[in-house]
Amino acid sequence: MAIERDLVGYGSNPPQVEWPGGARIAISVVVNYEEGSEYSTLDGDAAHESNNEVPSPVPTEDRDLANESFFEYGSRVGVWRIMDLLDEFDVKSTFFCCALAVERNPQVGRAIVERGHEVFGHGYRWEEYFKMSREDEREAIRRTVESLERTTGERPLGWYVRYGPSINTRELVVEEGGFVYDCMAYNDDIPYYVRVNGKKWLVVPYSLEVNDTRFWRGGMNSPGDFFETLKNTFDTLYIEGEKNPKMMNVGLHCRIVGRPSRIVALRRFLEYAQGFPGVWFARRIDIARWWMRNYH
């Protein structure tokens, strides 16, 4: 599939967006549930996961027990702290679910649905889809859907992979037949359509800017930094939303913002944003369905 770049987008004439209730901003809170799906020699990988808050001194081919425990915190403690906070503020989110992670902690999968959040396809595990053959990638998508349906009782309607898509990913997602949209782009503040095999296909773009991974990757040193990033993004989009409503992405990880000191930033932001009129906290599937009903 030939994928052309679009450097123009909506340009200076974006659509006149109207969110439900006349909201000026739609806020999508995304919780990435990945713990237990990272690289591990226990799962036959050649090296242990290197993405961590603390650089690993352990040889890559050996188990790094300290690193493993960082991830375990997210599934044992962090995910519940985040879900409890979202319940407190009555915010429904989208859970980017690695299927293997949910298999290894099925009570999380049940809780996602019971608490009204969206089950979203985030790959079977932390696989590098851009390195896969077309058929291997197709099988990984199928396996993810089957697994999440089994563990949560719901099939994912959206798709996003951690290391970025291959040139085949979007086409395979459309061919699978059960997905509604994908989030495999960072290039806009509102949804848009692309053509895939002659079919109109919805993209609900994501963001790595308002994302707690920056605690690990650099650029964010304290919960105050995270709150300021959240607040500044909200303020800008809320002001712009008076004339042309926008969408704000908030990316979270259970092992990162699920820590006691960092979740304070999320609490402060939810309190701040809910203090304004015209704010719609929405699951991504709700944003996608609204867009497809109103913007063709």
- Tell me whether residue 132 is in a domain: yes
What would the DSSP string read from start to end of 162-173?
TT---TTHHHHH
Mean pLDDT in residue range 169-192: 96
User: What pLDDT, on a 0 to 100 scale, did the predictor assign at position 112?
Assistant: 98
Mean pLDDT in residue range 84-90: 98
Under the banding of pLDDT at 50, 70 and 90, the label for residue 69 is: confident
CB 105 within 8 Å of CB 77: no
Angle at which helices 169-176 and 134-152 cross, to 10°:
50
The percentage of residues in the chain with a pLDDT greater than 90, rounded to a whole number, is 77
- Tell me whether residue 9 is in a domain: no
Phi and psi, residue 289, nearest 5°: -65, -40
Mean pLDDT in residue range 57-71: 81
Mean pLDDT in residue range 86-94: 98
Q: What is the pLDDT of residues 117-154, one digit of tens each?
A: 999 999 999 889 999 999 999 999 999 999 999 999 99
- Tell me whether residue 5 is in a domain: no
Q: What is the pLDDT of residues 147-169, one digit of tens each?
A: 999 999 999 999 999 888 999 99
- Tell me whether residue 7 is in a domain: no
From the list 27, 151, 36, 19, the residue with the least C-alpha distance to 86 is 27
**Alpha-carbon distances, residue 51 vs 60, 68, 176, 295 (angstroms):** 12, 11, 31, 39
- Tell me whether residue 229 is in a domain: yes
Say how many residues make up the chain. Answer: 296
Which region holds residue 227: left if phi is over 0, alpha if psi is between -120 and 50, else beta? alpha
Measured distance CA(83)–CA(93) in Å, rounded:
9
- Tell me whether residue 12 is in a domain: no
Please give the model's pTM, rounded to 2 decimal places: 0.94
Measured distance CA(105)–CA(138) in Å, rounded:
25
For residue 206, give the CATH number of its domain: 3.20.20.370
Q: Name the domain count of the chain.
A: 1
- Tell me whether residue 121 is in a domain: yes
Q: Show the domain range for 286.
A: 20-294
Tokens (6 digits) for 150: 């089994």
- Tell me whether residue 105 is in a domain: yes
* Average pLDDT of every residue of the chain: 93
Q: Is the pLDDT of residue 36 over 70?
A: yes
